[in-house]
Amino acid sequence: MKKAIKLTALSLATLSFATIGLTACDLLPGTGVETKEPEVNPEYVYNGTHIYTAPDTDEYLVKNGKTEYALVIPETTTYEEGVAVSEFTHLFKKATKIDLTVYTDDQVTDASKGKYISLGRTTLLEDSDIKVDYNELDQDGHKIVTKDDDIYLCGGMDTGTVFAVYTFMNLTFNYETYTYNTTVIEETWEKKLKAYDVLDIPDFKTRAHSSDITTYVHASDYDINMYPWRLRYRGKEATRGMYYMRVHEVLDDFTSGSSASTNARRWFPESLYKDAEGHPDTYHPSWFSTNGGEQLCFSARGDAAEYEAMVDLAFRKVESHLKYYTPAKAPNANIITLTHEDNVQYCTCEKCVEISKYYGNSQAAVQILFMNDLAERVDALLNANKDKEWYREDFKLLFFAYNHNYTPPAKYDPVKKEYVPIDDEIICHDRLIAWFATNINGQIGFDEGLNAAQIGVLKGWGAVAKNIQFWSYNANFRNYMFGGTEWAGQYATDEMYGFFCNQSDLSWFTQMQDHNDCPNTAWAHLNVYLDSKKSWNTSLKTMDLVKEYMEAVYKEGADAMYQMWLSERLYRRGTLIEELQLVSNGDGGVELSKVEYWPLGMLQGWIGLADQALEAVEIYKESDPELYDQICRNIEIEAVGKMYILMELHRNTLSKEDRQAYVERLQHDMQWLDISSMWVKTKSIAFADWLAEISK
């Protein structure tokens, strides 16, 4: 691959592949350039189940703006089934202008008496002889089948029925949701009935996100409220903690402080167990790290009695929480986490060091041994109480496999040509989950540099842990606006999703721009779209998805916006990463906010491309003002990100007139786009405060 030359003062006219020093063949798969497909390592390909058979029949679903079909739903519906019904009728009307008649299955007992669309586990489905393997579908997978003149949609669980609605609408009316304000669906007066034979199962069984797309809610806007569901997450609750029991500080006191993850302080609060004067009866200093930080010593300094007391207290907490948070009270809470605090002040006592060294300098080994002992007791408890109302068959305990717990207690066996556990004692109990935080940099090859090293680390975890969940990063938490290795360009590494899913298909969580209750910039919405699509189906190609997104979100402005995105992507790889070696870990910790990294002319060129896009969509200004405003908002929010960098770094070198022009444009955008509360530096400064400061 050619090495990129460093960008200097780019103007709008000079933004091209040649300027950057890369050709379309280098980095543009799927753009029409004929290149030989490289051989793909089978480890990077996950063979999922995505069967979308739906040829037209001679019959009609909709004809002359009318339909003979009615929707049939279960007599009693759950919340999720209610979402499915609402979304089906809403999207069907968007496409056809038809208000579907809805019956409950106690009103329709014979499918031969009419034409029906059965949604969920109806009696019509039960009587149809259609075979549904609910175990295969798991929670979110679904099936769509045409039998005779009726259509049946059903999920493995009720959430899967919601997702079946979106698959049906996509196959029938070319439906897709791209952003919180951009849903595309074909409007038609006539549509053939299709012979559906669809089986769609997500590659990652569960997919979750941080709160950026759940907090952006307008109570009066139905489509925005449905945005998380339409991304095939489990609605607004699909955050990292939706499956976790809260852990309370005080045993049997469920009003005491609690949290669902990053919660060592909740299991063993220092206020109770490290306070000799205030709580002498519960004073156990050996339970805590020699380095503080509310971290724990999972070896209890090697003191057998103290270790037993520590495991016993943890077990009693699990037991009490199981009995309090019953499946009826907390149906999703099938996991309890015992996770270290977010710092590296782990214990370095003699016993912890001894264990770590024996297990290949794996600090994680210390906690795994503790968690195995705890899991054995929890497993015995559950097996002895299968008849109790608090019993949970699939209950798991989870620990973090990141930070000081990053290195697995495994080694590479050159004879077997695979990673193996250092000994059998360190193999994780079946009730344990290791939550692995990835450091993948998607702007370089999947098997290059730090990425290649991480492949080995993850294979090592696969040798010791049957159950692995993944935590990925998609934001620069030092400064959202500058991006980093966790920028939209990361998804150029198509192999990443397939490789991780082959290691474990349990769960994919992506931490994005947290705590923003408004639109985001720095390609955040594109990131959300790509992550949601590729965590569902890892075989989808990034560049194809990007092109589709651009055309849907920016319409006639797509070419200019694609050039902006592509130019930034190539610059980040060619200059920031390859030339300047600004490769960070998953938390985006490299400081990118330096003048020398962001030439003024380049930023002005990118803003100029946004202006080009705005000009291109003026054709909608008179004919469709609502659509025009929507597209302009989508374009301008990306211009805001570029103007932020420009004003943050270059405002003192601008002329008074130019500086004032940018300030006025940003002030207008803040009100128009409703982004005054948008965080530009994580939880430390909001856009309105920043703008007020730089406007002085």
Written as one letter, the residue type at 264 is: A
**Taking residues 340-359, what's their average pLDDT?**
96
515 band by pLDDT with thresholds 50, 70 and 90? low
Please tell me whether residues 286 and 404 are part of one structural domain.
Answer: yes
Q: Which of 164-168, 348-352, 487-491, 645-649 has the lowest mean pLDDT?
A: 487-491
DSSP per-residue codes, 186-254: ---S-EEEE--EEEEE-SSSEEEE-GGGTS---TT-HHHHTHHHHTTS-GGG-STTTTB--EESSTT-T
Question: Cα–Cα distance between 639 and 178 in angstroms, integer?
Answer: 19
Please tell me whether residues 534 and 559 are part of one structural domain.
Answer: no
Is 59 a member of any domain?
A: yes
Cα separations (Å) of 375 from 304, 370, 371?
18, 9, 6
Is 207 a member of any domain?
A: no
Backbone angles phi, psi at 581, to 5 degrees: 60, 40
Is 682 a member of any domain?
A: no
Question: Cα–Cα distance between 480 and 588 in angstroms, integer?
Answer: 9
Digit-coded pLDDT (tens) for 358-370: 999 999 999 999 9
Is 590 a member of any domain?
A: yes
pLDDT of residue 478: 78
Digit-coded pLDDT (tens) for 256-279: 999 988 899 999 999 999 999 999
Whether residue 683 is predicted with pLDDT greater than 80 in this model: the reply is no
Structure tokens at 551: 């055309």
**Taking residues 529-545, what's their average pLDDT?**
92
Query: Mean of the per-residue pLDDT values for the chain?
Result: 89
Structure tokens at 542: 């990034």
Is 694 a member of any domain?
A: no
**Number of domains observed in the structure of the chain:** 3
Digit-coded pLDDT (tens) for 170-201: 999 999 999 999 999 999 999 999 999 999 99
For helices 625-650 and 558-571, angle between their N-to-C axes, nearest 10 degrees: 30
Please tell me whether residues 23 and 62 are part of one structural domain.
Answer: no
Q: Which of 632, 653, 674 is the last residue of a domain?
A: 653
Helices vs. strands in the chain: H and E counts, helices first: 23, 23
The pTM (predicted TM-score) of the whole model is 0.91
What percent of the chain has a predicted confidence (pLDDT) above 70? 90
Is 123 a member of any domain?
A: yes
Question: Cα–Cα distance between 409 and 405 in angstroms, integer?
Answer: 10
Please tell me whether residues 429 and 511 are part of one structural domain.
Answer: yes
Whether residue 88 is predicted with pLDDT greater than 60 in this model: the reply is yes
Query: Which residue range forms the structural domain that includes residue 307?
Result: 247-540
Structure tokens at 60: 């009609």
pLDDT of residue 470: 93
Please tell me whether residues 76 and 174 are part of one structural domain.
Answer: yes
Cα-to-chain-centroid distance, residue 605 = 31
Question: Cα–Cα distance between 40 and 454 in angstroms, integer?
Answer: 19
Is 678 a member of any domain?
A: no
* 3-state class (DSSP) for residue 393: coil
Question: Cα–Cα distance between 403 and 344 in angstroms, integer?
Answer: 7
Please tell me whether residues 18 and 101 are part of one structural domain.
Answer: no
Whether residue 525 is predicted with pLDDT greater than 80 in this model: the reply is yes
Task: Yes or no: say if 338 and 267 are a contact pair by the CB < 8 Å rule.
Answer: yes
**Taking residues 114-142, what's their average pLDDT?**
96
> Which carries the bigger pLDDT value, residue 358 or residue 8?
358
Count other Cβ atoms within 10 Å, centred on residue 277: 6
Structure tokens at 283: 């004073």
Backbone angles phi, psi at 378, to 5 degrees: -65, -40
**Taking residues 76-86, what's their average pLDDT?**
96
Question: Cα–Cα distance between 575 and 167 in angstroms, integer?
Answer: 41
Backbone angles phi, psi at 258, to 5 degrees: -150, 165
Q: Which of 633, 653, 673 is the last residue of a domain?
A: 653
* 3-state class (DSSP) for residue 132: coil
Long-range contacts of 575-583 (CB under 8 A, 24+ apart): 575/4, 575/6, 575/7, 577/441, 577/443, 577/444, 577/485, 578/3, 578/4, 578/444, 579/3, 579/4, 579/6, 583/441, 583/444, 583/449, 583/450, 583/485
Residue (of 645, 356, 613) closest to 476 by Cα position: 645
Whether residue 17 is predicted with pLDDT greater than 60 in this model: the reply is no
Residue (of 89, 87, 85) closest to 104 by Cα position: 85
35 band by pLDDT with thresholds 50, 70 and 90? very low
pLDDT of residue 12: 38
Please tell me whether residues 270 and 392 are part of one structural domain.
Answer: yes
Backbone angles phi, psi at 641, to 5 degrees: -60, -40
Please tell me whether residues 532 and 465 are part of one structural domain.
Answer: yes
Digit-coded pLDDT (tens) for 425-478: 999 999 999 999 887 776 677 777 777 888 899 999 999 999 999 998 877 777
Is 677 a member of any domain?
A: no
Cα separations (Å) of 582 from 20, 97, 225?
17, 52, 38
pLDDT of residue 584: 59
| DSSP label at residue 536 | H
Residue showing tokens 């207690």: 409
Looking at 109-173, which runs of residues are DSSP E strands? 115-119, 142-147, 150-155
CATH number for 136: 3.30.379.10
Please tell me whether residues 513 and 578 are part of one structural domain.
Answer: no
> Which carries the bigger pLDDT value, residue 321 or residue 260?
321
Question: Cα–Cα distance between 313 and 322 in angstroms, integer?
Answer: 14
pLDDT of residue 585: 54
Structure tokens at 144: 């769509």
Question: Cα–Cα distance between 296 and 338 in angstroms, integer?
Answer: 11
Q: Which of 145, 169, 202 is the last residue of a domain?
A: 202
Please tell me whether residues 92 and 136 are part of one structural domain.
Answer: yes
Task: Yes or no: say if 219 and 242 are a contact pair by the CB < 8 Å rule.
Answer: no
Please tell me whether residues 112 and 61 are part of one structural domain.
Answer: yes
Please tell me whether residues 35 and 85 are part of one structural domain.
Answer: no
Task: Yes or no: say if 352 and 340 are a contact pair by the CB < 8 Å rule.
Answer: no
Residue (of 179, 224, 163, 120) closest to 552 by Cα position: 179
Written as one letter, the residue type at 621 is: K
Structure tokens at 672: 């128009």
pLDDT of residue 1: 26
